Amino acid sequence: MQAQTMNKSELIDAVAEATGLSKTDSGKAVEAVFGGIESALKAGDEVRLPGFGTFAVKNRPARTGKNPRTGEPVEIAAAKAAAFKPGKGLKDALNG
């Protein structure tokens, strides 16, 4: 069985249906949530949503990789990446 993918407009539609808000207002709400998470992560903060999960910034150190075509070593710069750790409520919903 192949997993389905929900895109942003489908998420906005789902929020509109669940809340009774217009699609325009739901779109603004979704954008506000994403913007808030992004702002917090940029500031180096975590976003904890009890029962759902935690968004955090992970620091990836510089490392040596390999070019898949040539096999030559390639230096990969250090970078920051967003990470999500699901909470107990989400895990239980997925596995229950």
The domains found in the chain, sorted by start residue, are 1-45 (no CATH), 46-96 (4.10.520.10)
In the block, tokens 């910034």 appear at 57
Task: State yes or no: pLDDT of 82 exceeds 80.
Answer: yes
Cβ atoms within 10 Å, residue 85: 11
Instruction: Report the pLDDT averaged over residues 43-70.
Output: 96
Cβ atoms within 10 Å, residue 63: 10
**Confidence (pLDDT) at 1:** 60
Instruction: Report the pLDDT averaged over residues 53-64.
Output: 97
